[in-house]
């Protein structure tokens, strides 16, 4: 039995809810997305349970899914000047430290070559920052992307209609 959310293809819209298969099995469906904008159909997220879950359990699981999707988008969804940027926690820290030092020294630490991430073929993508203005644009844009992505996750969580899952509390 699959114990984590997976993509159930063939959907044309969100089908949020619970299907109680029997007293010992249930499936939860959440959300709707497409792999590509021009796809005719998309997918819902599905999680199978070997029991009938409570709303509290479903809420926890859906929030964990949204958190994981948000984290994945932060890690590898950002591009700066058409260059992919890998925003791991370590890279965020390193970018901040380098930016802070560049600001404190009024650009004396520049030029500075940073590995931003990797392209689709796995080749390293580097950029050399020669001016504080360019480095500030890179760093502030990355922080804005992270904040926007986190906010999108919060908005998604706040927008869930939990009544679709209430049949479990009867």
Residues 74 and 122 in one domain: yes
Residues 17 and 78 in one domain: no
Given this model, what pLDDT does residue 77 score?
A: 95
pLDDT confidence bin for 18, thresholds 50/70/90? very high
Residues 4 and 58 in one domain: no
Residues 82 and 149 in one domain: yes
Residues 60 and 122 in one domain: yes
Confidence check: pLDDT of 23 > 90: no
Q: Which of 1-10, 84-93, 126-135 has the lowest mean pLDDT?
A: 1-10
Residues 75 and 39 in one domain: no
69-78 mean pLDDT: 97
Span 124-167, pLDDT tens digits:
999 999 999 999 999 999 999 999 999 999 999 999 999 999 86
Residues 65 and 46 in one domain: no
94-98 mean pLDDT: 97
Residues 78 and 143 in one domain: yes
110-136 mean pLDDT: 96
Residues 38 and 72 in one domain: no
Given this model, what pLDDT does residue 151 score?
A: 98
Q: Encode 124-140: b = buried (16+ Cβ within 10 Å), e = exposed.
A: ebebebeebebbeebbe
Host domain of residue 83: 54-170
Given this model, what pLDDT does residue 1 score?
A: 56
Given this model, what pLDDT does residue 110 score?
A: 97
Burial level of 170, CB count in 10 A (0-12/13-18/19+)? Answer: exposed
Residues 112 and 132 in one domain: yes
Residues 37 and 58 in one domain: no
Given this model, what pLDDT does residue 129 score?
A: 97
Burial level of 142, CB count in 10 A (0-12/13-18/19+)? Answer: buried
Can you point out the beta strands (E) in the chain? 6-11, 17-22, 25-33, 42-49, 78-80, 83-85, 112-118, 124-129
pLDDT confidence bin for 2, thresholds 50/70/90? low
Domain boundary among 32, 53, 74: 53
Given this model, what pLDDT does residue 170 score?
A: 44
Given this model, what pLDDT does residue 166 score?
A: 83
Residues 166 and 113 in one domain: yes
Q: How many domains does the chain have?
A: 2
Confidence check: pLDDT of 169 > 60: no
């Amino acid at each position: 039995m699959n114990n984590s959310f997976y993509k159930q293809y063939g959907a044309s819209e969100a089908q949020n809810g619970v299907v109680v298969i029997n007293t010992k099995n249930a499936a939860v469906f959440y959300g709707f997305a497409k792999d590509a904008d021009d796809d005719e159909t998309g997918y819902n997220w599905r999680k199978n349970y070997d029991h009938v879950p409570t709303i509290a359990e479903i809420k926890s699981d859906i929030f964990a899914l949204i958190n994981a999707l948000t984290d994945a988008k932060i890690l590898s969804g950002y591009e700066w000047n058409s260059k992919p940027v890998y925003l791991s926690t370590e890279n965020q820290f390193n970018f901040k430290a380098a930016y802070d030092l560049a600001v404190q020294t009024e650009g004396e630490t520049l030029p500075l070559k940073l590995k931003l991430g990797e392209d689709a073929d796995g080749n390293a993508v580097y950029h050399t920052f020669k001016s504080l203005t360019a480095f500030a644009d890179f760093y502030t844009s990355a922080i804005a992307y992270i904040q926007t992505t986190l906010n999108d996750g919060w908005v998604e969580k706040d927008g869930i209609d939990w009544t679709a899952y209430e049949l479990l509390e009867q």
